Structure 1
Amino acid sequence: MNDPFIVALDFPTLEEAKTFLQSFPNKSLFLKVGMELYYQEGPAIIHYLKEQGHRIFLDLKLHDIPNTVKRAMQGLARLGVDLVNVHAAGGTRMMEAALEGLEAGTPNGARRPYCIAVTQLTSTSEQMLHNELWIDRPLEETVLHYASLAKKSGLDGVVCSAKEVPLIRKHCGEAFLTVTPGIRFADDEKNDQVRVVTPYEARKLGASFIVVGRSITRAENSVAAYKRLQQEWKGEEKE
């Protein structure tokens, strides 16, 4: 999984997703399929995208009792996706069960999907963490704790803000994946994200992968926006 760009395919239907992908003929992308699209289209969307040669991050953020997560992951592994995730808040036993399910469901001779854990959503602010979730530890400390639990459980990495990557790298190692949403061009609206950075900043902070949605999918020219993403990641167009 060398390509660091994951495009969030946040559309409600397969037809809208197809329309967007028509702008990228004969190009293999790393695509994020989230709840909005998967819950409407089901496994058929994954089969279609894999047939087109795309890699898939199936972003369902599983969070349930260990046995339920294990059985769900066993089924998801059969889809041939490349990356899946859970909520670290489910605890170590649940994360271990997720891996057990993936191992059991992966076809012989295939590599199991990478599994990462959501630490705190990039829409979560320090104020929300304390006042609504009743977590009294600092946000950064909470994220690191969840990342450490994920590594202890055997997961491959975490979903976090790029701002938290250096701390996670320091404590969890360079090989531990950091998948970072909340990526915006400098002239974009933040929308419902709070802890956001630009592509160039994410690279400087050491992110393994960046997840980019509306900056590309809602752009007037999605291909040009994708090229801009590549340029900014390389530092060729600094803000």
Structure 2
Amino acid sequence: MSQESARDRLIVALDFETVADARALIATLGEAVSFYKIGMELAYGGGLALAHELKDAGKRVFIDLKLHDIGATVERATRQIARMGVDFLTIHAYPQTMAAARAGAGELKLLAVTALTSYDDADLEEAGYAYGVADLVARRAGQAKAAGIDGLILSPLELATIRPLVGPDMLLVTPGVRPAGADVGDQKRITTPAQAIAASANHLVVGRPIIRAADPRAAAQAIVAEIEGA
């Protein structure tokens, strides 16, 4: 499993409207956190420039844009993001999308989104899918491995089933992680950090339990300690 430190396995989601708010949290967290995620909300508010600042400061950066479009567009967009020198990029786990992103990625690590952690079987049925969550995630995991994708985004509840299917080298990155007693928000498929690590997650993506905590640094340190003890 992952040989990275417990601190490096925690990815803090910078779920803010403004770069100023994100910078304030980064300053508060200091050396307690080494890895940050910039998602769509912040990216569309100037966050891609912040990615360069974070890299210059020695941090790791995950760009979470969940690319999905015609192949040529995905390939070119992936190549643009790869030029930024960031570490991870998300794409949706459709075979054409994954193949196109792989062609543009170079050394950039690609994470394929299997099924959003805010979805359950009823949500997928409403959206017209013929598969429930477990079957869809397994199918997409196999397709991602065949496409040479570096890792998957999946809920912690699917980790134990998917790890044997993809082997030890594929990165399994999970949102939907909440410390015991935390507000679950819009997540439907969740576990605690320790449970996710024990189930073979390489990285945990955590937003609200840290960024909305009264003491974000202490909240991050508590999750790192839980990872370390798992």
On whether the aligned pair clears a TM of 0.5, the verdict is yes
Q: Which residue in 2 is equivalent to 1:183?
A: 177
CA distance in structure 1 between the aligned counterparts of 2:99 and 2:163, rounded to whole angstroms: 21
Residue 97 in structure 1 maps to residue 136 in structure 2:
no
Separation (CA, whole Å) in 2 of partners of 1:42 and 1:196: 27
Q: Deviations over 1:127-180 (max 9, x none)?
A: 1111x1122322101101011111111101110001101111111111111100
Q: Confirm or deny: 8 A CA contact 2:62 2:88 kept in the other structure.
A: yes
Measure the CA separation in 1 of the matches of 2:64 and 2:70.
Answer: 18
1:107 alignment counterpart? none
Q: Which consecutive residues of structure 1, in runs of 5 or more, have no partner in the other structure?
A: 104-111
CA offsets 1:174-226 (integer angstroms, 9 cap, x no match): 11111000110111111111001100110111111110101111101011101
Name 1:193's counterpart in structure 2.
187
The alpha-carbon deviation at position 100 of structure 1 amounts to: 1.0
Superimposed CA distance per residue, residues 25-72 of structure 1 (whole angstroms, 9 cap, x where no aligned partner) = 355610000001111105311111112221001000001011000000
Tell me which amino acid in the other structure corresponds to 2:124.
L
Identity of aligned residues (%): 40
CA RMSD of aligned residues (A): 1.5
Q: What is aligned with 2:167?
A: 173
Q: Is the 2:172–2:202 Cα contact (8 Å) retained in structure 1?
A: yes
Distance in structure 1 (CA, Å) of the matches to 2:82 and 2:191: 32
> Which consecutive residues of structure 2, in runs of 5 or more, have no partner in the other structure?
none
Counterpart check, 1:204 vs 2:198:
yes
Separation in structure 1 between the aligned mates of residue 32 and residue 205 of structure 2, nearest angstrom: 18
In structure 2, relative to structure 1, the CA distance for the partners of 1:71 and 1:144 (3 Å cut) is: same
- The alignment's TM-score, normalised by the length of structure 1, stands at 0.90
Q: Is the 8 A contact 1:159 1:180 kept in 2?
A: yes
Report if aligned partners of 2:32, 2:217 keep a CA contact under 8 Å in 1: no
Contact between 2:32 and 2:220, CA under 8 Å: does it hold in 1? no
SS of alignment partner, residue 23 of structure 1? helix
Note if contact 1:92-1:152 (Cα within 8 Å) is conserved in structure 2: no
1:16 aligned to 2:27? no
Query: Which of 66, 74, 97 matches 1:61?
Result: 66
Paired residue type of 2:190: V
Give the partner amino acid of 1:118. V
Q: Give the distance between the partners of 2:115 and 2:12, measured in 1 at CA.
A: 20
Dislocated runs of 4+, deviation >4 Å? none
* Separation (CA, whole Å) in 2 of partners of 1:122 and 1:226: 21
Which aligned pairs between 1:41-190 and structure 2 lie closer than 5 A? Answer: 41-88=46-93, 91-103=94-106, 112-130=107-125, 132-190=126-184
Aligned to 1:109: none
